[in-house]
């Protein structure tokens, strides 16, 4: 079933403009997102063709089957609650049966987990993004040799520097474990290359140094420390950074680079909006979709606030939410029995 099928068969119960236009945060470049609710033909609902959600290819138009919609309302899903609480000037179509669904029947303290919980996850994501922007990882990947050091006196020097100064190559080296130590090896050198030493590493992609069999009586040329923990951390950071580079939205990244504040300003604008919405819920007991501080939020989106300022505002909102949540009169959870009966009543009227 497609969105066109919903329309031609007159199955849409509710349709509204959502996203930035509903929040009052749209600019001239903003997309128009549409969200809605539908019901299935009787034979599909009672048969084997239940479809909980239908979207277009870009997911900027999405409709939810009435049962799925109520289920998400019962879970206090922020997106779904905001759809139900759409401003009147955004609603494109409302079937009279939708009047049975009222936001006050679903509001509960669970919103702290769904609204603020999601926002906090986005704050952590923003901090990770900030770290990536400020600490780029070179494309030329380091090898484990870059994390090896030769012990000298009371200090150490990089292995590569030692090899260069001693006019040696790693392929002619042989390593032996030093007992009762971690990451320390004796280094032997075979100038002629006839003793079968494995080298310090066997290839550039190696994740461990190699150890060799050393003939008895050979004298060590040096002692080596391999910082394997540091190398493992580097490998993890390298994978994460270049995965982020390959998946990032280049247009948004370039905007963030242009304002130079080192955070995803659009995402943080929506994070702050979500936290403010959560705070309003516990202050008043009601959800407010359209914002009252459009200019402040658009300033964040434009990158006119520093990273530290935005993070501080988010942390202050989280503290405020904790306070108002503790004194709120909202129930701990929505009344599942009551709201399920409402769904049953709607379906009885739809299917007779």
pLDDT band at residue 261 using 50, 70 and 90 as cut-offs: low
**At residue 11, what are phi and psi to the nearest 5 degrees?**
-100, 0
**Per residue in 170-180, pLDDT tens?**
999 999 999 99
The answer to whether residue 107 scores a pLDDT higher than 70 is yes
pLDDT band of residue 343 (cuts 50, 70, 90) is very high
Contact 127, 264 (CB under 8 A): no
Q: How confident is the model at residue 204, as a pLDDT?
A: 85
Longest dimension (CA), the chain: 95
User: Can you list the alpha helix ranges (DSSP code H) found in 135-227?
Assistant: 159-165
Average pLDDT over residues 150-156: 94
Distances in whole angstroms, Cα of residue 64 to Cα of each of 53, 57, 79, 347, 349: 5, 15, 12, 14, 18
Q: What is the DSSP letter of 97?
A: G
Burial class (CB in 10 A: 0-12, 13-18, 19+), 235: middle
* Of 23, 19, 24, the residue nearest 34 (C-alpha): 19
Residue whose tokens read 């050198």: 189
Say what the alpha-carbon torsion angle 288, 293, 298, 300 is, to the nearest 10 degrees. -100
Cα angle 34, 64, 75; round to 5: 110
**Band (33; pLDDT cuts 50, 70, 90):** very high
Instruction: Report d(CA 78, CA 76) in Å as an integer.
Output: 6
- CA 10, CA 39: separation in Å to the nearest integer? 9
- Give the distance, in angstroms, between the CA of residue 77 and the centroid of all CA atoms in the same chain: 17
Average pLDDT over residues 199-208: 91
The per-residue pLDDT for 105 is 97
| Contact (Cβ atoms closer than 8 angstroms) between residue 37 and residue 72 | no
Task: Check pLDDT > 80 for residue 349.
Answer: yes
| Per-residue pLDDT, 258 | 53
**Residues 65-93, mean pLDDT to the nearest whole number:** 97
Kindly report whether the global pTM for this prediction surpasses the value 0.85. Answer: no
* H or E element that contains 17: strand 12-18
What pLDDT sits at residue 308? 87
Going along the chain from its start, the domains and CATH numbers come out as: 1-106+334-352 (3.30.460), 144-229 (no CATH)
Q: How far is 273 from 333, CA to CA, in rounded Å?
A: 23
């Amino acid at each position: 079933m497609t969105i066109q099928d919903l329309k031609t068969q007159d199955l849409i119960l509710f349709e509204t403009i959502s996203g930035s236009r509903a929040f009052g945060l749209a600019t001239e470049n903003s997309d128009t997102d549409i969200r809605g609710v539908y019901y299935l033909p009787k034979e599909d609902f009672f048969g084997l063709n239940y479809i909980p959600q239908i979207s277009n290819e870009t997911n900027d138009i999405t409709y939810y089957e009435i049962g799925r919609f109520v289920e998400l309302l019962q879970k206090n899903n922020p997106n779904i609650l905001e759809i139900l609480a759409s401003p009147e000037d955004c609603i494109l179509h409302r079937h009279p049966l939708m009047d049975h669904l009222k936001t006050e029947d679903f509001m509960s303290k669970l919103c702290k987990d769904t609204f603020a919980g999601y926002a906090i996850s986005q704050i952590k994501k923003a901090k990770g993004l900030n770290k990536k922007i400020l600490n780029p990882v070179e494309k030329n990947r380091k090898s484990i040799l870059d994390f090896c050091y030769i012990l000298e006196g009371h200090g150490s020097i990089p292995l590569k520097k030692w090899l260069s100064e001693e006019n040696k190559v790693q392929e002619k080296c042989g390593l032996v474990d030093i007992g009762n130590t971690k990451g320390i090896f004796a280094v032997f050198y075979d100038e002629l290359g006839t003793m079968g030493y494995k080298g310090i590493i066997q290839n550039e992609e190696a994740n461990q140094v190699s150890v060799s069999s050393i003939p008895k009586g050979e004298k060590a040329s040096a002692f080596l420390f391999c910082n394997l923990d540091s190398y493992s951390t580097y490998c993890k950071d390298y994978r994460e950074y270049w995965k982020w580079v390959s998946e990032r939205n280049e247009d948004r990244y370039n905007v963030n680079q242009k304002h130079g504040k080192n955070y995803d300003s659009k995402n943080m604008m929506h994070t702050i909006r979500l936290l403010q919405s959560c705070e309003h819920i516990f202050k008043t007991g009601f959800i407010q979709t359209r914002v009252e501080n459009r200019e402040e939020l658009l300033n964040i989106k434009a990158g006119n606030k520093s990273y530290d300022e935005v993070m501080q505002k988010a942390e202050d909102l989280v503290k405020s939410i904790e306070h108002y949540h503790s004194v709120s009169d909202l129930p701990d959870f929505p009344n599942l029995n009551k709201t399920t009966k409402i769904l049953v009543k709607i379906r009885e009227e739809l299917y007779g």
